[in-house]
């Protein structure tokens, strides 16, 4: 087999692997996910601004620097700097994935591991945890629950936004199965609703440091709303 033919086969295998890994998305979805993930990365800044007055001017990390001294960081870094760093890293991760997609190559290991959601998850859980620890609090269950639920809605929303009918996770109602137009419309509606709802729920946790009845209502609305929407779309097209 010639080297040229081998190279073509390897390139085809790389394309198939890239699709299998789910890292390649449309340009429209790529832009949407970039905006959504950047907002998610920045949400701990709400917590930092709310607790600004109680965060010490110098936060002790417990780490030891290269010179043997305590590697402490200023308050502004904890409240705003770390989430801003997550935003920057998220931007770089999206750029790298878009570049690999343009080149039709499999993203490198670190890019596959982090993906488009690694830094938002780190920011929401780790950066907010750093802020709470700085004021003598911990990542309590009432705070963690809405954060995790919000992140789950973000991930589900990004998945169903353009999922195909053979996807393992999809909105399979009798109405959505009736036509391709209803299927696409309902899944896109659910994708938008769940991503926006996820951001609102996480922002609520940053504002209150707890779960509230509003959080529960938002979750129910997000999960139930696609059904009447699909019914309305099916009746409209019939």
- Ranges of each domain in the chain: 1-137, 140-238
Residues in the chain with pLDDT < 50? 17-22
Helices (H), 115-179: 118-122, 128-134, 141-160
The pLDDT assigned to 21 comes to 42
Distance CA 212, CA 198 (A): 14
The pLDDT assigned to 64 comes to 53
The pLDDT assigned to 121 comes to 94
Q: Which residues 6+ apart lie within 8 Å of 43 measured at CB?
A: 83, 123, 124, 199, 202, 203, 206
Token readout for 123 is: 């920011």
The pLDDT assigned to 8 comes to 59
The pLDDT assigned to 19 comes to 45
The pLDDT assigned to 167 comes to 75
Distance CA 181, CA 158 (A): 19
**pLDDT of 174-192, one tens digit each?**
667 667 888 888 889 999 9
The pLDDT assigned to 228 comes to 87
The pLDDT assigned to 40 comes to 97
> Would the CA dihedral through 42, 43, 45, 48 be positive or negative?
negative
The pLDDT assigned to 149 comes to 95
């Amino acid at each position: 087999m010639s080297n040229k033919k081998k190279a073509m086969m390897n390139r085809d295998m790389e394309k198939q692997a890239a699709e299998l890994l789910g890292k390649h998305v449309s340009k429209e979805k790529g832009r949407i996910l970039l905006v959504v993930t950047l907002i998610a990365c920045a949400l701990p800044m709400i917590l930092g601004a709310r607790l600004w007055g109680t965060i010490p001017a110098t936060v002790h990390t417990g780490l030891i620097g290269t010179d043997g001294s305590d590697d402490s960081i200023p308050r502004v870094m904890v409240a705003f700097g770390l989430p801003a760093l997550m935003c920057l890293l998220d931007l770089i991760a999206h750029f790298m994935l878009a570049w690999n997609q343009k080149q039709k190559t499999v993203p490198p290991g670190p890019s596959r591991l982090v993906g488009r959601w690694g830094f938002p998850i780190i920011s929401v859980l780790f950066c907010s945890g750093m802020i709470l620890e700085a004021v003598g609090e911990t990542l309590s269950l009432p705070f963690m629950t809405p954060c995790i639920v919000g992140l789950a809605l973000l991930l589900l929303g990004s998945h169903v936004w353009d999922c195909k009918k053979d996807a393992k996770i999809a909105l399979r109602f009798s109405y959505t199965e009736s036509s391709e137009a209803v299927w696409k419309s309902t899944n896109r509606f659910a994708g938008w609703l769940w991503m926006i709802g996820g951001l609102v729920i996480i922002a609520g946790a940053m504002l209150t440091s707890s779960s509230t009845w509003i959080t529960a209502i938002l979750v129910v609305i997000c999960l139930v709303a696609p059904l009447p929407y699909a019914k309305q779309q099916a009746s409209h097209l019939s």
